[in-house]
Chain A
Amino acid sequence: MKTLLRLMIYVRPSAGWVFIAVTIMILATIIDLVAPWILREIFDEGIDKRNMAVVLWLTLSLAGIQALKSAGMFVQGYTQELVGQNVVFLLRKELYSHLQRLSFSYYDRAQTGQLMSRMTGDIEAVKNFVGFGAMNLFTGMLTFLGTIIFMMTMQWKVTLISLITIPFILFVLWRFNHKVGPAWSNIREQMGRLTTTLQENIAGIRVVKSFATEKVEQRKFAERNEQNFETNMERAKLEAKAFPLMGFYGGLTFVLMIWIGAIFVARGEMSLGTFMAFQWYTWGIIWPLNMLGWQINIMQQAVKAAPRVFEVLDTPLDIVSPAGGTETAGMKGNVVFDRVTFHFADQDAEKDQPILNDVSFRVKQGEVIGVLGATGSGKSSLIGLLSRFYDVTGGCVWIDGVDVRDYELDGLRSSIGIVPQETFLFSASIRDNIAFGYPEATQEQIENAARKSQIHSFIESMPNGYDTRIGERGVGLSGGQRQRVALARAILMDPPILVLDEATASVDTATESAIHEALLEVMKGRTTFIIAQRLSSIQHADRIIVLERGRLTEQGTHKELNEGNGFFRQLFDKQKQIAHE
């Protein structure tokens, strides 16, 4: 019930349309109820009394009201779908914008396939109910009640006797409703899993092919597919049990009406016209009850699907822009980490080692900082905290003396240009990919950024230049080219703080050197963090900090660190050794 009430919120903007649809529906139902009555009059008043004028007029009016009804039905059919579409549109829109705001820690756990299934299949289920289903449910009940009232006024005894099956039908319906709910819940869940398996397979198709494990994948999918089949059959069994039974009870009503009705007519207690009209009315009773089975199906689907959508919508945004957040215009880029400790959300703060442990350092505007450390030492998390992809567990991160949590969030992130470790490019033109963070950029600005990241001449060499479309995973470009497009993307934003997260790792040394030369100019006046494993990548750093297992163990200039005997010195010796061999 709570789910239905919540769905009503989404229906409210379409209240006008709902009103129109309902009004038309009531009128159409009344017409449906009046038609058999006219038929009765034709028989009793027209044919029986040999009055052809009455027959003519009544027949014409029968055609007339049907014309009205047909026109109304068209409008109603249209409006009910429109309402459904409006609701879906709104739900999708909300879900999409919510998905975009959910924090990294949510996506660390979320499965793409599950999210996709909720956004498409589950929303579709909701739509079916809100538009077509709910309206039919309403029509059905209205027709049912109206029919009984009309019949009662015509011949209440026959009506009452014929209706004795109704409680049985209601009982079947009630039990069906009770059981089909969980069945639908399983189906929706199963569908989500199927989508996840599928999504993973497509995303990892390269790995699948290189290990020649197509057969294994087929088996995996077949298993999910089989489960999907079984859950669906579970529901189908319920339907097979309930629907024919309801059809039988409905048919019983029909039989009783004829049987008892005929006796009444024979005894002269009922006119033949009424008997005829009753047959028509029987459909007004049987049809809604049969429909009800299907409608319950549709409703239960929606009731089980909607919470899956709401669950995503209700996931709190743990990182939001503070009310009245500090503007970031004119940010200089003085960064201070003050005793920062960080745990992932699913870690046990007591037991697990923190990702970052009591890290403190300060960086002045325009400084270039090299961040060194082994795999998994927490280098990338450092940047995650600066951009507020995650919030610190303890301590503070300050930029220009303001806690990052007090900045307006979009502004903060636009002020930090990141070239990530794993490049993700969108299926759009190269131009759009470079202008990703700054869609208003002019062609000149875009080309400038491309030049600085040593990718301009390559782009120019493509047949369509900057308009060349690249695929979802940026296929068609090599790893190094993709990284340079990502670099151009960050440079174009002209941020006061620039972060290169192993950005040149898959670029050959000559290109890396050229990029660094070009970056010298870009880095001027900007605070720059270069996260790297190669010493060559950080040759232009003013200062270096070294992370080991989440702790800051060394910091200083190249020279200072070389004089120590820590991680830097060891790495240095190792690489020197290779160079001089």
Chain B
Amino acid sequence: MSQVEWDMDEEADEKPFNMKHMRRMLQYLVPYRRLMTGVVVIVLINMLLSLSEPIILAYIIDIGISEGNIAAIHILGAALLGIKLVSWLFSFMHTRWINFTGQRILFDLRQQLFNHLQSLSFRFFDGRPAGKIMSRITNDTNAIGELINGGLITMVMETTHLLGIVIILFWMDWQLALLSFIMLPLLYVIVAKLRPKIEGSWSRSRSTMSAINGNLNETIQGIRVIQAFSRQRVNNEKFNGINTRNKQAFMRAITLESTVYPLVEMIGMIGTCIVVWFGAVRVLEGAITLGFIMAFINYLWRFWGPLSALSKVYSQLLSAMASAERIFEVLDTAPEVKNSSRARELPSIRGDVSFEGVSFRYEENKPNVLHDVSFHVKAGQRVALVGPTGAGKSTIVNLLMRFYEATEGAVRIDGIDVKDVTLESLRKQMGIVLQDSFIFAGTIEQNMRYGNEEATEEQLRNAAESVRLDRVVAQLSHGYQTELEERGSKLSVGQRQLLTFGRVLLSDPRILILDEATSSVDTETEQHIQEALQTLLAGRTAFIIAHRLSTIKDADLILVVEDGRIAEQGSHEMLMKHGGIYANLVLTQLSMQESVILQSSHS
């Protein structure tokens, strides 16, 4: 529960520039290094061509115009035209390549994030709103994709442009060049001051966006409760607050950012003015030609253009860095439950389960949820877990499935510690039906086949029949091909539960776990499932968490869980004779039923 604060907006106003993240972002370019080298080469050639333009211009003025040499003008004009043609071809190529690279990296990044999410343990998802996780995979990756698509090429192009111009300017007239750059240090100081603030405000803007996502997702998921309780007004107010915070965070970032570009232009213009003034003086002195000063000024404009383009890329970079941090945070979350280095495939199991002194707590400094739990189940046995809500029944099966790792002790299947086998081989041989039946968007058949895509048509029908799903399907106009929506809302809760039963049966697990799975199925259907289970469970080990006596009674082993301990264990008869907690539980339930019977029989 400590992670609920994920993405709350108490982030710092200023952030130091994180070189490590920057380097890590660049790593994504590595697979495309050949293409990128090609792009850089082309861009460089393109740049050189464009840099030669003012020189040609100077010749046009000094040779062509001043000396009235029309032929020279034609030759030089044709040269200019040639340059433009070549740069057309080149920019077509690099636009294609850079777009490809950018989109591909976006693809890689998303896939990597998604794949990593699949390996993360339940604890990561516990309390982290789905909307916020989604925001990182969609919005944050987008910011990085945009940087690569638009920003990277600008960066390469304009930086070389800039360097080339500086070299040319100094080569033309180093004094004039120095004069025109006199304002640059000022620009540097201002940007250095602003940068941490801008980056900080972008990262705040991102996290408020994620809060919007989180709130939105929850609203859509919980809409039924919201409407039932007429919460719309209060929710609107709450959303307004988040929405306003997002707007403010964004506007703050924009305010800071809007100062950069005009500043660059201003400083550029001051440089131009200085050159014009001193240039004019030197032209009058006869030290330089008019063509020269024109070319110089032309270069100078070209210097400030890239600089302001770079300043825009820079803010794009800052915004992407804020996103990168959020993405890397997810990527760096190590899965708690993972295959150990010496993990091996779990061979086909018989279904012997033993817990040996198992203790468990959710977090280091939290109290134990399970204390020293030990029991042994032989292959093919049925185990019922009973006890008050919150006693730790679900935790026991979660440890068996290895959704969490036991803090102390060992869980063994056929004598093999579950920690020593690969997760996939372990879970593939087990099946669990949860109380909340989750249905995927898709047809009934696709949902049935979820755990076993190779099942034959016959197996599918048999499984459906065994759980009485065939009756439900018969009522639907498209049968097994009926498309179900996200939450399976065409089916009632009970019908959905039947579908999850069918799903797990089709996957043919060695060990079957029913976690309060039958509580929303009516008694008649449940009885039918019980019958079907009797035959289907032959050779399977089953763990059943339930409250109904009818479900519990026939179990080979009943585990009474209380306060995280196994308080009693044994068969129904044994425990009834023992007269402990279980016997008490049964008697309460019987007396309740008796009272119903009494009510019905007498007036």
Contacts and interface: CB of A to CB of B under 8 A. Distances in A.
Contacts of B492: 375-376, 380
A511 B265 contact: no
B522 interface: yes
Interface stretch (B24-32, B187-195, B243-251, B533-541): B243-251
A507 B91 CA distance: 68
B600 A561 contact: yes
A98 to B, nearest CB: 10
B390 A481 contact: yes
B489 A373 contact: no
Contacts of B65: 262, 265-266, 272, 275
Contacts of A214: 118-119, 424
A63 B523 contact: no
14 contacts: A99-B219, A104-B224, A191-B138, A206-B122, A206-B434, A210-B431, A212-B428, A225-B111, A232-B103, A259-B81, A509-B589, A510-B585, A512-B592, A559-B599
A116 B4 contact: no
Interface in B192-221: 209, 212-214, 216-221
A414 B229 CA distance: 6
Nearest to A210: B432
A96 B218 contact: no
Contacts of B431: 210-211
Given A77-B262, A481-B389, 4 more contacts: A52-B284, A92-B239, A375-B522, A581-B553
B593 A536 contact: yes
- Most chain A beta-carbon neighbours within 10 Å: one of B104, B265, B301, B593: B593
In this complex, the member of B213, B394, B497, B520 whose beta carbon has the largest number of chain A beta carbons within 10 angstroms is B520
User: Chain B at the A interface: mostly helix, strand, loop or mixed?
Assistant: helix
Nearest to A414: B230
Contacts of A171: none
A103 B263 CA distance: 52
Interface in A203-234: 203-218, 221-222, 225-226, 228-229, 232-233
B438 A203 contact: yes
Contact of A436 (B225, B548, B597): B225
B117 interface: yes
Contacts of A248: 84-85, 87-88
Given A410-B232, A436-B231, A535-B593, A255 B80 contact: yes
B251 to A, nearest CB: 6
Given A96-B236, A513-B588, A559 B96 contact: no
Contacts of A209: 122, 403, 427
Contacts of A244: 88-89, 91-92, 95
Interface in B332-351: none
Contacts of B99: 233, 236, 239-240
Nearest to B118: A214
A351 B476 CA distance: 11
A239 B68 CA distance: 42
Contacts of A431: none
A345 to B, nearest CB: 11
Contacts of A436: 225, 229, 231
* Prevailing SS type, chain A contact patch: helix
A435 B118 CA distance: 35
Q: Which of B213, B228, B595 has the most CB of A within 10 A?
A: B228
B232 to A, nearest CB: 4
Given A200-B440, A258-B57, A505 B224 contact: no
Contacts of A119: 212, 216
Contacts of B73: 259, 262-263, 266
Contacts of B87: 247-248, 251
A468 B475 CA distance: 45
B370 to A, nearest CB: 13
Contacts of B523: 533-534, 571, 574-575
Contacts of B585: 508-510
B57 A203 contact: no
Interface string B128-140: 1111011101110
Interface stretch (B168-176, B268-276, B455-463): B268-276
B182 interface: no
A434 to B, nearest CB: 11
A373 B522 contact: yes
Which 9 pairs between the two chains have the least Cβ-Cβ distance?
A375-B494, A480-B389, A259-B77, A437-B229, A471-B127, A236-B99, A77-B258, A248-B88, A212-B427
A423 B52 CA distance: 71
Nearest to A475: B126
Contacts of A77: 254, 257-258, 261-262
Given A376-B495, A413-B228, A74 B593 contact: no
B388 A510 contact: yes
B439 to A, nearest CB: 8
B450 A74 contact: no
Given A93-B239, A506-B519, A479 B389 contact: yes
B163 interface: no
A347 to B, nearest CB: 9
B449 to A, nearest CB: 10
Interface string A528-563: 000001111011000000000000000000110110
Q: Name the residue among A60, A119, A191 with the largest chain B CB count within 10 angstroms.
A: A119
Contacts of A427: 4, 127, 129, 214, 218
Interface centre among A96, A210, A243, A422 (most CB of B within 10 A): A210
B217 A252 contact: no
Contacts of A418: 228
Nearest to A409: B230
B560 to A, nearest CB: 11
A232 B96 CA distance: 12
Nearest to A250: B84
A10 to B, nearest CB: 14
A534 B588 contact: no
A441 interface: no
A55 interface: yes
A73 B261 CA distance: 8
Contact of A213 (B60, B214, B450): B450
Contact of A107 (B224, B280, B547, B597): B224
B575 interface: no
A362 interface: no
B222 A352 contact: no
B17 interface: no
B481 interface: no
Interface in A109-124: 109-113, 115-117, 119-121
A202 interface: yes
A470 interface: yes
Given A276-B294, A373-B522, A262 B61 contact: yes
B303 to A, nearest CB: 14
A100 B273 contact: no
A323 interface: no
Given A252-B84, A258-B77, A479 B232 contact: no
A56 interface: yes
A452 B454 CA distance: 51
Given A77-B254, A111-B441, A579-B593, A62 B227 contact: no
Given A213-B451, A217-B118, A513-B592, A272 B61 contact: yes
Contacts of A146: none
Q: Which of A107, A375, A505 has the most chain B CB within a 10 Å cutoff?
A: A375
A439 B277 CA distance: 71
Interface string B566-603: 00000000000000000001001110111111011111
Contacts of B502: none
Interface in B477-510: 477, 485-486, 489-495, 497-498, 507
Contact of B262 (A70, A212, A266): A70
Contacts of B22: none
Contacts of B227: 100, 104, 389, 413
Nearest to A252: B84
